[in-house]
Amino acid sequence: MTVYHTILKRRTIRKYSNKEVSQEKIEQLLRAAMAAPSANNKKPWLFYVVKNKEIQEQLKKVYSFFDYNSPLLIVVAGNLESQRSKTTDFWQQDCSAAVQNILLLATELGLGSCWCGIYPRKEREQAIRKILNLTDEIVPLALIHLGYPAEEKSARTQYEEAKVIEIS
Ligand SMILES: Cc1cc2nc3c(=O)[nH]c(=O)nc-3n(C[C@H](O)[C@H](O)[C@H](O)COP(=O)(O)O)c2cc1C
């Protein structure tokens, strides 16, 4: 698969089989995540790999409008403590780049994924902070559902010429 094909093939998956994701694949996903670009190379990210089913249920309840049944959750969080020594405050971009790397590699590994936003929704942030017992410096940005897909979605772009402004 070319990178472009993987990008088009990545779709949000909300229905999963109960097949678990191997530790080897989890490690690959985390290596991809931590290959992301990062402002001043501060790497302000933390990855909470949630395998515990009880904790997973608690996290899923924060998003009551969908019935996700993924076997694996990864919460990507910004460690703001690591930003304080520098003027850079790009933790959201850094962590988002890491999230996208996870989603793209997941696609290539035959896994489905769903990026669920946490920050800046205060109520989600607080609920997840409580469940994972996070200190004030750790800000959860995204909850990623991962697992083998039980629904099919076609590859696509959503290209719109009107969104392109050419400055020549
Ligand atoms: C920052 C962000 C937050 C999102 N939050 C949610 C969410 O809370 N629940 C959900 O089911 N999908 C969520 N999504 C997935 C989007 O709904 C999805 O990407 C969009 O509908 C486009 O579909 P596609 O991913 O298949 O291209 C989120 C995506 C992003 C980038």
Stretch (H or E) spanning 77: strand 72-79
Q: Which ligand 1 atom is the nearest neighbour of the CA of 66? A: 11
Domain ranges of the chain: 3-163
Q: Name the residue at shortest CA distance from atom 3 of ligand 1.
A: 117
Say what the pTM is.
0.97
Written as one letter, the residue type at 13 is: I
pLDDT tens string 110-159: 999 999 999 999 999 999 999 999 999 999 999 999 999 999 999 999 99
In whole angstroms, give the CA distance from residue 46 to residue 40.
17
In whole angstroms, give the CA distance from residue 22 to residue 110.
12
What's the number of CA atoms in the CB half-sphere (13 Å) around residue 108?
A: 17
Q: What's the CA-to-centroid distance between 119 and ligand 1, angstroms?
A: 14
Q: Name the residue at shortest CA distance from atom 9 of ligand 1.
A: 116
Q: Name the residue at shortest CA distance from atom 1 of ligand 1.
A: 117
Q: Per CATH, the architecture of 3-163 is what?
A: 3-Layer(aba) Sandwich (3.40)
Task: Please check whether residue 34 is in contact with residue 98, taking contact to mean a CB–CB distance below 8 angstroms.
Answer: yes
pLDDT of amino acid 60? 96
